[in-house]
């Protein structure tokens, strides 16, 4: 018995699965990009610098805000003291050995407050520090 081969002529191209995959990828990247950003407290007025450089990676940072009165808050807004900074950095260092301290100090905060945060971080084992500044055009 002979089989009949039906030839329809044209091959159709299905674009619906491609559109579905495009939307899935778009949603994936939107969700993952919001997870690697950090919140900035608008109450901290960071200093302006003409020679500032924007670091590329947001991951692997512990963000601490230092206010004008010396108050230290973490990224979630929880008030911590220098001993708490040391414990926080020790825990972050054990979770990620390449962790960095990101200090967002108010422009009028006394240097002793910022130095206290850096010293506590060093006691916790984290010595790589990033300072936030607003970058201006030269």
* Residue range 94-113, pLDDT digits in tens: 998 989 999 999 999 999 99
Domains of the chain, first to last:
48-135 (3.30.420.270)
Considering the entire predicted model, what is its pTM?
0.68
pLDDT, tens only, 54-73: 766 667 888 899 999 999 99
Q: Which residue has the tokens 């001993």?
A: 83
- pLDDT on residue 117: 94
**Exposure string over 68-81, b if 16+ CB within 10 A, otherwise e:** eeeebbebeeeebe
What distance in Å separates the CA atoms of residue 96 and residue 40, rounded to the nearest whole number? 22
What distance in Å separates the CA atoms of residue 45 and residue 125, rounded to the nearest whole number? 28
- pLDDT on residue 91: 93
Alpha carbon distance, N-terminus to C-terminus of the chain = 85
Closest CA to 71 of 15, 26, 32, 114: 114
- pLDDT on residue 32: 74
- Residues lower than pLDDT 70 in the chain: 1-9, 33-39, 55-58, 137-138
Helices (H), the chain: 16-35, 82-95, 111-123
């Amino acid at each position: 018995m002979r089989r009949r081969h039906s030839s329809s002529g044209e091959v159709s191209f299905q674009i619906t699965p491609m559109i579905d995959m495009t939307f899935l990828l778009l949603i994936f990247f939107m969700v993952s990009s919001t997870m690697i950003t950090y919140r900035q407290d608008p109450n901290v007025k960071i200093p302006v610098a003409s020679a500032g450089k924007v670091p590329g990676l947001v991951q692997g940072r512990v963000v601490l805000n230092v206010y004008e009165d010396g108050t230290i808050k973490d990224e979630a807004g929880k008030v911590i003291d220098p001993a708490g900074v040391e414990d926080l950095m020790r825990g972050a260092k054990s979770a990620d050995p390449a962790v960095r301290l990101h200090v967002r100090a108010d422009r009028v905060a006394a240097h002793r407050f910022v130095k206290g945060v850096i010293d506590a971080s060093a006691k916790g084992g984290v010595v790589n520090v990033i300072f936030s500044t607003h970058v201006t055009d030269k």
